[in-house]
Amino acid sequence: MRRQADGEGGLVRALLQPGVLPDSADGVELIETHISWVLLAGEHAWKLKKPLDLGFLDFSTVERRREACEAELRLNRRTAPMLYEAVVPVWRSAQGVRVGEPEAAGELAAEETPLDYLVRMRRFEQSALFAALLEAGRLEPVLFDRLARHVADFHAAAAVAQPGQGFGDAAAVHAPVRQNFAQLRDLLSPARLDAPALLAELVRVESWAEAQFAALAPVFDARLAEGRVRECHGDLHLGNLIVLDGEPRLFDGIEFSAALRWTDVVADIAFLVMDLQARGRPALGWRFLNAWLERSGDYAGLRVLPWYLSYRAMVRAKIAAIRAAQVAGEARVESLAECARYLALAAAPMRTPAPALLIASGVSGAGKTSQSFPLLERCGVIRVRADVERKRLFGLDAEAASGSALGGGLYTAEAGARTYARLAELARAVVEAGYPVLVDATFLKCAQRRAFAELATALGVPFAILAFDAPPEVLQARVRSRLAAGGDASEADEAVLATQLRTREAFETEELARVLPIDTGSAPDWRRLLPALVRLWPGALAADAPGP
């Protein structure tokens, strides 16, 4: 994004004059992007689209720009209605340029049709952007939990693509990927940038992508049929995320290309996960991914995540190569280095996966959920929670109160059996997608633990029991505090805890070799615990990778 003191073109110069835009007596600041001008005046930002036809977008006529403004308003009001206020016409009158309807301008326009259209937005501080917060060291991990809920709920409410519309099927998914490889191959060729090492890496990634597509083509079609292709944001990276009134919000989604926004929901989140990898914060990507999966329940989407992560990185690699071809000297060297970094990210999903099946065993309040975040963030573990999946089975949101009595409603023996069966099904899906999984449930019965040990054997992956525990008084205090605070999927109270403590079954002799005790009376030292975990799951350090 480039700032400059004056505009380009007569209309922009006119709008920069104090008094033309509302509340602009103190002056107007201009921000220019490659496709628009944004004018800042008072408490508002006014976006004017450039008269361009770039192939993938067409703003070449006033009518097309009006349609794009109206699409921008409609699409972004889905996630940030407090930011996007109106589409406003610009007229030429006898006294010059006027903004707003003719009556609002105080006179009739000299022309029958507007000169152009502006999107009027509520102005915000650039320091509120996720990208700025990250740079300032103020982007807290818990913010990604709330962001994931926002994104998952947005996806759930978004319009669903239908087979035959040309969005999200195998052919539609593959076409831009192939085009991207062809364009980048041309840019890196001896006739252009002459970057043989990068070209060799490109060929390696392309070969992997083609093999993956052959395997995934039916999966793409199935996800379209299942309603997983929706009218998404399309440009979900840190520069298009903001904290407004204390809550994370998406804004500036893609309005100019239906093909770029009608996509698999996993393709949408892959952009943010990849962006966090590129900025050296993969742990935040794992945190966001886990929270989004927990909210959406779309664990089957892990099967296509590596494909979309690689594609998102390849697009950024191409952009860096385009920039390298336009400059010389040190600027070209820097752009090629950026291209190399993104190519490395595109190649990362090619590494051999290190899946495992871990279970988090322990009574309510033992810290199975709250104390396992380091595993998610450092080792790339995907967590599946019984408290969440139990309620999903019964059609309830995770935080909804079921009103179930002890041993009744959602907590009968039959409901418990259904829940553990669902956890096993999800664990299998995660492992078969190539990821390690942590199944977060009490696992108080030997038979429950044995069933998952057998599943790990059938899947051919390591199995470990992470045994979370704390002194009884600590457990009681946590349960009381959590229940009073609300907002958690667990409904366990002190009576439930007392029953669990009385009825839990000790580990059998053959289990003990797979048990990792974790005392959560104080925060566990995962640096100390990691070597012990590696003995049970040798791939734990291999999973400590750049990102999902």
Reduce the secondary structure of 81-130 to three states and give it as a string: CCCEEEEEEEEEECCEEEECCHHHHCCCCCCCCCCEEEEEEECCCHHHEH
Contact 154, 250 (CB under 8 A): yes
Contact 42, 23 (CB under 8 A): yes
With cut-offs at 50, 70 and 90, classify the pLDDT of residue 384.
very high
Letter for the amino acid at 459?
Answer: L
Query: Looking at residue 111, what is its pLDDT?
Result: 56
| H/E run at residue 221 | helix 196-225
Q: Which residues pair with 116 in a beta bridge?
A: 90
Q: In what order do the strands lie in the sheet with 382-385?
A: 382-385, 437-440, 357-361, 463-469, 515-519
What SS3 class is residue 37?
strand
> 511 pLDDT exceeds 90?
yes
Q: What is the dihedral sign for C-alpha 485, 490, 493, 494?
A: negative
Query: Looking at residue 96, what is its pLDDT?
Result: 80
Query: Looking at residue 486, what is its pLDDT?
Result: 87
> 415 pLDDT exceeds 50?
yes
Query: Looking at residue 8, what is its pLDDT?
Result: 45
Q: Which residues pair with 129 in a beta bridge?
A: 242
pLDDT > 90 fraction of the chain, expressed in percent and rounded: 86
pLDDT digits (tens, 9 = 90+) for 133-172: 999 999 999 999 999 999 999 999 999 999 999 999 999 9
**Helix crossing, 265-278 with 329-347: angle to 10°?**
130
Residue 196: burial class (beta carbons within 10 Å; 0-12, 13-18, 19+): exposed
What pTM, to 2 d.p., does this model score? Answer: 0.93
Query: Looking at residue 107, what is its pLDDT?
Result: 54
Q: Return contacts of 481-484, CB within 8 angstroms, 24+ apart.
A: 482/365
Question: In this structure, how many other beta carbons lie within 10 angstroms of the beta carbon of residue 160?
Answer: 13
| H/E run at residue 527 | helix 526-536
> 72 pLDDT exceeds 80?
yes
CA pair distance 378, 370, nearest whole angstrom = 15
Query: Looking at residue 9, what is its pLDDT?
Result: 61
pLDDT digits (tens, 9 = 90+) for 258-303: 999 999 999 999 999 999 999 999 999 999 999 999 999 999 999 9
Query: Looking at residue 102, what is its pLDDT?
Result: 62
Query: Looking at residue 248, what is its pLDDT?
Result: 97
With cut-offs at 50, 70 and 90, classify the pLDDT of residue 548.
very low
The DSSP bridge pattern shows strands 382-385 and 262-264 to be unpaired
For residue 440, the number of C-alpha atoms closer than 13 Å in the C-beta half-sphere is 25
| H/E run at residue 276 | helix 265-278
| H/E run at residue 8 | none
Contact 41, 17 (CB under 8 A): no
Lowest mean pLDDT of 72-81, 134-143, 486-495, name the range: 486-495
CA pair distance 162, 498, nearest whole angstrom = 51
pLDDT digits (tens, 9 = 90+) for 176-185: 999 999 999 9
pLDDT digits (tens, 9 = 90+) for 216-240: 999 999 999 999 999 999 999 999 9
What SS3 class is residue 511?
helix
Lowest mean pLDDT of 26-35, 74-83, 240-249, 432-441, name the range: 26-35
Comparing CA positions, the residue from 312, 341, 374 lying closest to residue 543 is 374
DSSP code per residue over 412-458 = SHHHHHHHHHHHHHHHHHHHHTT--EEEES---SHHHHHHHHHHHHH
Residue 475: burial class (beta carbons within 10 Å; 0-12, 13-18, 19+): buried
Alpha helices in 9-61 (DSSP H): 10-15
Angle at 158 between CA 153 and CA 163, to 5 degrees: 130
Place of tokens 């995770």: 398
Q: Which two tokens stand for residue 512?
A: 């003990």
Contacts of 300 (CB under 8 A, 6+ apart): 223, 429
User: For 316-462, where are the E strands, in sequence order?
Assistant: 357-361, 382-385, 437-440
CA pair distance 36, 286, nearest whole angstrom = 33
Contact 497, 318 (CB under 8 A): no
Q: Which two tokens stand for residue 134?
A: 């990250």
Query: Looking at residue 544, what is its pLDDT?
Result: 46
> 545 pLDDT exceeds 80?
no
Residue 68: burial class (beta carbons within 10 Å; 0-12, 13-18, 19+): buried
Place of tokens 């201009």: 30
Letter for the amino acid at 159?
Answer: A
CA pair distance 28, 438, nearest whole angstrom = 53
CA pair distance 150, 260, nearest whole angstrom = 20
CA pair distance 165, 179, nearest whole angstrom = 20
Q: Which two tokens stand for residue 434?
A: 């190539």
Contact 526, 375 (CB under 8 A): yes
Query: Looking at residue 56, what is its pLDDT?
Result: 82
Q: What's the maximum distance between 2 C-alpha atoms anywhere in the chain?
A: 92
Alpha helices in 1-84 (DSSP H): 10-15, 62-76
Contact 291, 145 (CB under 8 A): yes
